[in-house]
Structure 1
Amino acid sequence: MKSEFDLVIVGGGMVGASLVRALVGCGLSVALVEAWPLDSEVQPSYDDRAIALAQGTRVILESIGVWERLAGDAEPIRRIHVSDRGQFGFARLDCRDHDLEALGYVATGHALGQALLRGVGDLPGVTLLCPARLDSFELDDQAARLTLSLDEGERRISARLLVAADGARSMVRAALGIEAREWGYGQSAIISNLTSGAPAPGVAYERFTDAGPMAMLPLSGARYALVWTVADTEVEEVMALDEPQFLARVQERFGNRLGRFQRAGRRSSYPLKLLLAREQVRPRLALIGNAAHAVHPITGQGFNLGIRDVAVLAEVLGDARAAGADIGALETLRAYADWRQRDQQGVALMTDGLVRLFTNPLPPVRLARNLGLLALDLAPPLKQLLSRQFMGLNGRLPRLARGVGLE
């Protein structure tokens, strides 16, 4: 059994699996370590939660050969309607203003998992270690050395680079004592898929309320994915409501733009926080995705931010390998961290600022934000700039985000 690799990726969720596919053809040997069996019914990253995919994310997924498999299950977002509940402010974004077929798309984690994971263990240069638990690891000047537990027993492997894609509660980050700036919002997101009485195909809604934002993202079959932000103190009560009570509460908060909601799927909830790791690289180590950053789901930036990490890291590693450089050297990895810093910090500040702005009850703040929404709606250049930011098309784009392969 092979025990030495160019890099080991710990975490086979959406970001880790995307990196595997992005690196195919770069001439690097890759081991993917995942604790859960690759069955999207049990893997937490691949449940029925809706995932917002920006236009820039579609380009990356096309570049790594995933979009063709996913397209049939991805509902386009052609327009976005933003409003402040009970107030006069609103703004509208439309894909036609950018000569695009969509501003973004919505797919379930289940569908995305199927597209990413099908045949991943058969890719050239890829070794799949799953289910496998990371028991311990150490980094030295030459390699990252890992001890794993598999069904057949203990296994030791090494690599020139360890990539941690193991989520916001990263075991790798914690074991290395890497600090993270982290604070909770005192809020949780309640997730469900709803059947609408008057669907508006291709329209996504972001509705700000005094308790936090409520998003409705279009899904197939006249369904909408609900992402409802509530105070932590209300989560238990809302989760305990029966279906008619839950639908009535959602209706009261959202309004009647989509008619009467008729059915609700399984509900889940998770606490909301902002997390930014103070270090994203060390010699032989890189953090990507939620292991490096986690943001509020407002504007749906989470996975989009993570897959841009993937596109940049894959390009940096591919170029280093082609130049004969050490892919685990700090100099190589700093190129990745420096490239990603502005985007990560910008999205974190934007999402955090929007949450604070739209939950502030002070009348002058409320008036200012509603005037700001109207100004945005009436200012095409500003609207275009903001739309491109949400679509992941601003700034220095890696080759995969421009539709250019790495081979």
Structure 2
Amino acid sequence: MQNKLTYDVVVIGGGLVGASLALALRPLQLKVAVLEAQPPEPQAEQDQPLDRSWQPSFDARSSALAWGTRQIYQRLGLWEAIAPHAYPIRHIEVSERGRLGTSHLTAAEQQVEALGYVVPNAWLGQHLWRALQDSDLDLYSPCELQQLRFPCAEQAELEAQGPEGRMTLSARLVVLADGGRSGLKQQLGIQDSIHDYQQTALIANLRLSRPHQGWAYERFTQQGALALLPLQQRQMALVWTHPRAEAERLMQLDDQALLAELQQVTGARAGRIEQIGERFAYPLKKVRAQEQVRQRLVVLGNAAHYLHPVAGQGYNLAIRGVMSLADHLARAQQLAKDQQQDFDPGSLPALQAWAAAREGDQREVIGFSHGLIQLFGQPQAWMAHARAAGLIGLNLFGPARRWLAKKAMGAR
């Protein structure tokens, strides 16, 4: 028997972005459903430490949450659950290998507890998933979306295979937040603007010989950018970018050989690297959907824009998009109430207004991340000297240093 269900909003994708949006919509008291193909792996209890043998701490990727993202999660009532595994970034050192220039950013100068936080994705996903399960939202997982169509201007229709069988859902707004993995964006004819960096990011967790004390390191080399981000105590998350052939070579090395090459690049600034966990490799592209709204449709998160990880701002940009969409819908709902009209969350003019409001933030952050790669990718000697002088000047010139720190904090 086929279930027929009606919703105000259907979110396709229950990952970090989709779950955050669904939770941000709770105050609107709309009828919301989340469709997720694969639920997260069961995790241990929140108060257990990450370095216990049952917890694959060396296998988990992490996200850098800017100070502004912390404020969003505080507003949503979620930060208290996330905080036990949110490791503060109190200092950032920016440097270029082979050059004397460095720049240091500090939370103390910004008069905040931290410039940002590093959170293992498994834990962040676990807390968001628990909040979804504890809410009055309808959560379907595992759920395979089989068809999405727009038969008329008033609603979208979805066919899905849910936990209890085949379902037909109608919605006045569909949010595509599946990261683009399902191919739905392509099926809908939404084109991407793509810049292929011809690079691969090698991602792993490290254990160091000494506590990191809240330091993060951004180091540029002729091969690509390297970032070390603080986790708990002596652990740090590594993001190391290389041309693809070089990344493939590194992935084939044994741990000791890889650590020896990594230690040469990092030097002694973070101490001796004692252990590396499971490695992951991700090709790097700059991707931006040419359409992010249609009648009854919004594209969010990695499905809307995917950035180079050099500045650590991709997830923060997505979460600002989540919160701005929720705020936009809340204002439209209140306006409709004041005018005694029906509230339509999928109205194209309203969605276009929201997309226009997001344009500046997206263009600025994407341009900043891409510009860093272009700047430090120039091999000319005079450019290298100019970059070194620039880092020294940045460190000495307070207003510029504070401007860069605000970028790191996700403040516009």
TM-score (norm 1): 0.93
Q: 2:20 — aligned with what?
A: 18
Displacement of 1:40 in angstroms is 5.6
Matched, 1:345 2:363: yes
User: SS where residue 272 of structure 2 aligns?
Assistant: coil
Letter in 1 for 2:388: N
- Paired-residue identity, %: 43
Q: 2:55 — aligned with what?
A: none
Displacement of 1:217 in angstroms is 0.3
Counterpart CA distance in 1 for 2:147 and 2:187 is 9
Residues 11-50 of structure 1: pairs in structure 2 closer than 5 A: 11-39=13-41, 48-50=60-62
Counterpart CA distance in 2 for 1:169 and 1:370 is 40
Q: 2:10 — aligned with what?
A: 8
Tell me if the contact between 2:313 and 2:410 (Cα under 8 Å) persists in the aligned partners: no
Tell me if the contact between 2:4 and 2:167 (Cα under 8 Å) persists in the aligned partners: no
Letter in 2 for 1:174: Q
For residues 177-221 of structure 1, what are the alpha-carbon distances to aligned partners after superposition, in whole Å with 9 as ceiling and x for unaligned?
Answer: 111100210101111110111333111000001100100001103
Stretches of structure 2 lacking an aligned partner (at least 5 in a row): 44-58, 337-342
Q: 2:147 — aligned with what?
A: 136
Tell me if the contact between 1:91 and 1:373 (Cα under 8 Å) persists in the aligned partners: yes
Q: 1:355 — aligned with what?
A: 373
Counterpart CA distance in 1 for 2:295 and 2:263 is 52
Q: 2:93 aligned to 74, 81, 86, which one? A: 81
Counterpart CA distance in 2 for 1:358 and 1:321 is 46
Tell me if the contact between 2:241 and 2:247 (Cα under 8 Å) persists in the aligned partners: no
Q: 1:400 — aligned with what?
A: none
Q: 1:379 aligned to 389, 392, 397, which one? A: 397
Q: 2:328 — aligned with what?
A: 316
Tell me if the contact between 1:98 and 1:384 (Cα under 8 Å) persists in the aligned partners: yes
Q: 1:184 — aligned with what?
A: 196
Q: 2:386 — aligned with what?
A: 368
Residues 48-197 of structure 1: pairs in structure 2 closer than 5 A: 48-124=60-136, 126-139=137-150, 140-169=152-181, 171-197=183-209
For residues 248-279 of structure 1, what are the alpha-carbon distances to aligned partners after superposition, in whole Å with 9 as ceiling and x for unaligned?
Answer: 11111211112211111111111000011111
Displacement of 1:334 in angstroms is 1.3
Matched, 1:236 2:248: yes
Tell me if the contact between 1:79 and 1:94 (Cα under 8 Å) persists in the aligned partners: yes
User: SS where residue 276 of structure 1 aligns?
Assistant: strand
Counterpart CA distance in 1 for 2:128 and 2:154 is 31
Tell me if the contact between 2:211 and 2:233 (Cα under 8 Å) persists in the aligned partners: no
TM-score (norm 2): 0.91
Stretches of structure 1 lacking an aligned partner (at least 5 in a row): 42-46, 395-407
User: SS where residue 118 of structure 1 aligns?
Assistant: helix
Q: 2:227 — aligned with what?
A: 215
For residues 26-79 of structure 1, what are the alpha-carbon distances to aligned partners after superposition, in whole Å with 9 as ceiling and x for unaligned?
Answer: 1211100000023267xxxxx710110100000001111211001111110011
Letter in 2 for 1:116: L
Tell me if the contact between 2:307 and 2:366 (Cα under 8 Å) persists in the aligned partners: yes
Displacement of 1:153 in angstroms is 2.5
Displacement of 1:2 in angstroms is 6.5
User: SS where residue 158 of structure 2 aligns?
Assistant: strand
Residues 184-333 of structure 1: pairs in structure 2 closer than 5 A: 184-324=196-336, 325-333=343-351
Displacement of 1:169 in angstroms is 3.9
Counterpart CA distance in 2 for 1:151 and 1:63 is 32
User: SS where residue 225 of structure 1 aligns?
Assistant: strand
For residues 313-332 of structure 1, what are the alpha-carbon distances to aligned partners after superposition, in whole Å with 9 as ceiling and x for unaligned?
Answer: 00111222222331101111
User: SS where residue 25 of structure 1 aligns?
Assistant: helix
Counterpart CA distance in 1 for 2:259 and 2:83 is 30
Tell me if the contact between 1:180 and 1:275 (Cα under 8 Å) persists in the aligned partners: yes
Which is further off, 167-176 or 133-142?
Answer: 167-176
Displacement of 1:384 in angstroms is 1.3
Tell me if the contact between 1:40 and 1:110 (Cα under 8 Å) persists in the aligned partners: no
Counterpart CA distance in 2 for 1:223 and 1:312 is 34
Displacement of 1:90 in angstroms is 0.9
Letter in 2 for 1:277: A
Counterpart CA distance in 2 for 1:27 and 1:293 is 28
Letter in 1 for 2:117: Y
Displacement of 1:151 in angstroms is 4.0
For residues 58-111 of structure 1, what are the alpha-carbon distances to aligned partners after superposition, in whole Å with 9 as ceiling and x for unaligned?
Answer: 000111121100111111001100000011111100111111111001110011
Counterpart CA distance in 2 for 1:204 and 1:214 is 11
User: SS where residue 102 of structure 1 aligns?
Assistant: coil
Letter in 2 for 1:52: A
